[in-house]
Amino acid sequence: MAKRDTPLLDELEKGPWPSFVTDLKRQAEKKPECWDILGQLELSYHDRITHWKHGGIVGVFGYGGGIVGRYSDLPKEFPGVAHFHTIRVNQPSSKFYNTAKLRALCDLWEKHGSGMTNFHGSTGDLILLGTTTDHLEPLFYELTHELHQDLGGSGSNLRSPACCIGKARCEWSCFDTQAACHGLTMHYQDELHRPAFPYKFKFKFSGCPNDCVAALARSDFAVIGTWKDDIRIDQAAVQSYIKGEFPSNGGAHSGRDWGPFDIQKEVIGLCPTECMWMEGDELKIDTSECTRCMHCINVMPRALRPGVETGATVNVGAKAPILEGAQFATLTIPFIKVDPESEFEELIEQIEKIWDWWMEIGKNRERVGETIQRVGLPTFMKIMELEPIPQMVREPRSNPYIFWQEDEVPGGFERDVREFRKKHAQ
């Protein structure tokens, strides 16, 4: 494969942000097919349109996902990318690596693919971009035998679960997000590799309501850490914030002069539930009114911490707009223990209730959030065997169109119109 001229792409080698074009060119020195990535991309920049064909079905024996077929629509012009499949490798929880592992992955990909990757894909997988069909089985063999790693999910199955950094390096994590993510990924290997669902299904785990993995916006089953008891307050540290000895929000606002820190305005006044106040030198919080939004804790990390009676809230059914419009995940279980000791059986029980039902009634390419929309939240709650509680809604319904069940009405629905007519002439 010859070097390509890329006058348009070369414009993207300028500027302070790292350039993927420069990186591609560097890789092309060892992997000449990268010149064809550049060449085809240059043509797309010229034509203002993609030159990839609609994906084809490729894979490894026994798996229904993990590899996405990709073919150039100009294979003669760009033979290096004629076949250019994507491989999803399931990432370790919260994406720590050691260099031995990374180098082994690089060597594997140097041998079997283009050398280009996504670190990482949107769902969380480590994505290897561009190889041919004949490399798939050998690559999978080496991936599993030598690297002891496995493919991630694609298609109508469980997608590779993802989590925030959690207890590894965050003081706010209310449960072990990494252990939960890893534990459930291992528990559901079959569901991850062999599509049997109506559509994709995602788990995401955030350790607190800051929701750093966007579980609430992106996952069908969002597990988000929370706590039941009092926010832990270090009153001396509160005073240090008031005196300006500690920077607000952990130093997040250091680049601009916002004036001296004002606890009344910046913390108490912004608390959405107005549940905080000063009593002399003491900061008080009415725990029963607090909705655990994290604002005060974010602003004063050295003074405030989540409580110690921790667990998680489960919200179900988020998705991007295709097809029926975007949805956030709906609050389903206000508080659940997330316990590595019990191998997450509390979560597993809930997950399987959802799957059993959704696999039966979900339509083709219908995310679970859309199925819930279609049947209604009350029906979903019955499936989940949940008592109705006001926490599940923002407000009660404003229409009176209730689907009364026959057994809720004395005498049921069957009546005799002749009996009725005896008292009410036509």
Q: Specify the stretch interacting with other proteins by CB under 8 A; choose among 61-69, 334-342, 354-362, 400-408.
A: 61-69
Interface residue with other proteins among 260, 280, 321, 390 (CB under 8 A) is: 321
Taking CB within 5 to 8 Å according to partner kind, which of other proteins, ligand SF4, none is near residue 153?
A: none
Does 91 help bind other proteins (rule: CB under 8 A)?
Answer: yes
Query: How far is 322 from 367, CA to CA, in rounded Å?
Result: 10
> Applying CB under 8 A, does 375 fall inside the site for other proteins?
no
Rank residues 144 and 235 by Cβ distance to ligand SF4 and give the closer one.
235
Residue 205, beta-bridge partner list: 163, 223
| Residues 120-179 contacting other proteins, CB under 8 A | 120-122, 124, 129-130, 137-138, 141-142, 144-145, 148-150, 160, 162, 164-165, 167-171, 173, 176, 178
Contacts 24+ apart (CB under 8 A), 29-34: 30/110, 30/115, 31/110, 31/114, 31/115, 31/116, 32/1, 32/80, 33/1, 33/80, 33/81, 33/114, 33/130, 34/80, 34/114, 34/115, 34/116
| Residue (of 288, 338, 62) closest to 195 by Cα position | 62
Tell me the two tokens of residue 222. Answer: 């969002």
Pick from 217, 233, 375, 383: which binds other proteins (CB under 8 A)? 217
Residue 346 CB-density burial (10 A; 0-12 exposed, 13-18 middle, 19+ buried)? middle
How many alpha carbons fall within 13 Å on the CB side of residue 399? 3
What DSSP string runs through 273-313?
Answer: T--EEEETTEEEE-TTT----SHHHHH-TTTEE--SSEEEE
- Residues 2, 17, 397, 423: which binds other proteins (CB under 8 A)? 17
Single residue of 35, 87, 117, 153 touching other proteins by CB under 8 A: 117
299 binds other proteins (CB under 8 A): yes
Query: Please, what is the minimum distance in Å from the beta carbon of residue 249 to ligand SF4?
Result: 12
Choice between 12 and 348, CB closer to other proteins: 12
| Cis status of the peptide bond prior to 323, with omega within 30 of 0 | yes
Least distance in angstroms from the C-beta of 209 to ligand SF4: 7
Which residues within the stretch 160-189 sit at the binding site for ligand SF4 (CB under 6 A)? 164-166, 170, 172-173
Instruction: Determine, following the binding rule CB under 8 A, whether residue 410 of this chain makes contact with other proteins.
Output: no
The one of ligand SF4, other proteins, none whose footprint includes residue 400, by CB under 5 to 8 A per kind, is none
Tell me if 118 contacts other proteins by CB under 8 A: yes
Place of tokens 């923002």: 394
| Residue 277 half-sphere exposure toward CB, CA atoms < 13 A | 6
Q: Report how far apart, in Å, the C-alpha atoms of 114 and of each of 29, 218, 291, 385 are.
A: 11, 30, 49, 50
Neighbours of 143 (CB within 10 A): 22
DSSP state of 165: -
Question: What does 275 interact with, of other proteins, ligand SF4, none (CB < 5 to 8 A by kind)?
Answer: ligand SF4
Task: DSSP letter for 250, please.
Answer: G
393 near other proteins, rule: CB under 8 A:
no
Other residues' Cβ atoms within 10 Å of the Cβ of residue 233: 17
Which amino acid would we find at residue 116? M
Part of the chain binding other proteins (CB under 8 A), chosen from 102-110, 341-349, 379-387, 406-414: 102-110
End-to-end CA distance of the chain: 89
User: Which residues partner with 257 through β-bridges?
Assistant: none
**Binding site partner of 359, from ligand SF4, other proteins, none, Cβ cut-off 5-8 A by kind:** none
From 86-94, 350-358, 379-387, 410-418, give the range in contact with other proteins by CB under 8 A. 86-94
Using CB under 6 A as the binding rule, the residues of this chain from 200 to 259 that contact ligand SF4 are 206-208, 210-212
Residue at shortest CB range from ligand SF4: 207
Please give the residues from 280 up to 309 whose contact with ligand SF4 meets the rule CB under 6 A: 285, 290-296
Which does residue 288 touch among other proteins, ligand SF4, none (CB within 5 to 8 A, set by kind)? none
Residues near ligand SF4, by CB under 6 A: 164-166, 170, 172-173, 206-208, 210-212, 271-273, 275-276, 285, 290-296
